[in-house]
Amino acid sequence: MDFTMGEAAAELRSELRRLVAAEVSADFLGAFTDDPADLAVAQRFSRILADRGLLCLAWPEEFGGRGASVWEQTVVREEMWAHHEPRGAQYMGVNWVGPTIMRHGTPEQQRKHLPPIARGEVIWCQGFSEPDAGSDLASLRTAARRDGDGWRISGQKIWTSYATMAQWCFLLARTSKGERKQQGLTVFLLPMSDPGIEVRPIRSMLGPHHLNEVFFDGVRATEADVLGRVGDGWPVVQEVLAFERVGIARYARCERLLQAAPAVLGERWDELPRELRGSWARLLTHCRRARLLAYQVLSLQSAGQVAPGDAAAYRIAVTRLDQDSAAVLSEIAAFAAADDKAQHRFRRAVEDHWRYANAATVASGSIEMQRILLARSLLRAPGRAGEAA
């Protein structure tokens, strides 16, 4: 199986690696730490990518991109995630907020929101999950009630990443009740500067900015803030989740750390138990499996087909890979020498990977929900025994 994507992609990959090496410290482990300098590095690097036309590479030129292929954009995703996402929170706007506004936004919304994303100037957060509506998102209670020619939005969101730094929120709220709970939901694009919005950080081992509660107290919204049609937000959200679940190339960081281990440990690599080296080799093959599943979904999306079942299959494989690789890498990192700078850096990177991996099977829809989506997709497929049921 050839994973190289051709000469142009290889040149792009080399260019990105040179940029990361030149502009980002080798000790960088992400933007969302206790050190504000890490976020500043990410914001600066995003603007460097934007100036070179690399931040939104596959976007149409009219929206600030270069009209490149989805495969070139995939190279960017892989290299960024492999190097601890030096774009910071920008990947959210690039991967799915922007494309969703392209597909469902009005010309005015596109002119307002897409250029700042393409320039790396604005951060978005996602107002989906609630205390009683996580994996069962359609059960949300945040309500938007008619108020003259607009709405007043009240409710609570939770686990909202980047809410403390975001300028805009991609919010899902209930505008009416239907026969099914998926009906009557509407997407709003809201400024986080509204005085009716309060953000309360939730401290965790992932560091600041990742987890927050967000409260909406009579926030005013107008028709211009509605994305798509009123009451028809659920199909938009299904698209969003499919894009989000493949937008992070988790396998790329797993593979980079696994491949780095023998060279970093040097002679200490020979001290590893045979069983541990066997697990290391097995996980490298699982990295390739997850990559292949991601490419399958990307191929479907590039053809205008968003398949929840295929996205779910990838999500199951890659989140399990995240956790399995974190466990094996932690065992390998225990053999690293404390007084060796490169080995110490490797151990820190593995510890960071382990922290994030613990939440992998919950974020963006729990693994249990992904299995349900995959099972439903298989049962609906033509020729399946469950089709008649």
- For tokens 């382990």, name the residue: 354
Question: In angstroms, what CA-CA distances link 282 with 143, 208, 215, 275?
Answer: 48, 34, 45, 11
- The CA-to-CA distance between both ends of the chain, in Å, stands at 38
Are the CB atoms for 141 and 206 separated by under 8 Å? Answer: no
Q: Which helix (H) or strand (E) holds 9?
A: helix 7-23
- For tokens 């929170």, name the residue: 89
- Compute the distance between CA of residue 246 and CA of residue 227 in angstroms, rounded to an integer: 22
Question: In angstroms, what CA-CA distances link 7 with 10, 13, 183, 294?
Answer: 5, 10, 47, 20
Active-site residue, 72 included: no
Closest of 207, 186, 8, 3 to residue 104, by C-alpha = 186
The full DSSP string for 192-255 is TT-TTEEEEE---TT-TTSSEEEEEEEEEEEGGGEESSTTBHHHHHHHHHHHHHHHS-HHHHHH
Choosing from 85, 239, 244, 255, which is the catalytic residue?
Answer: 244
User: Which amino acid is residue 289, in one-letter code?
Assistant: R
- Compute the distance between CA of residue 385 and CA of residue 34 in angstroms, rounded to an integer: 53
Degrees to nearest 5, angle at CA 116 with 303 and 239: 30
User: Which amino acid is residue 251, in one-letter code?
Assistant: Y
Q: Which residues are part of the catalytic machinery? A: 244
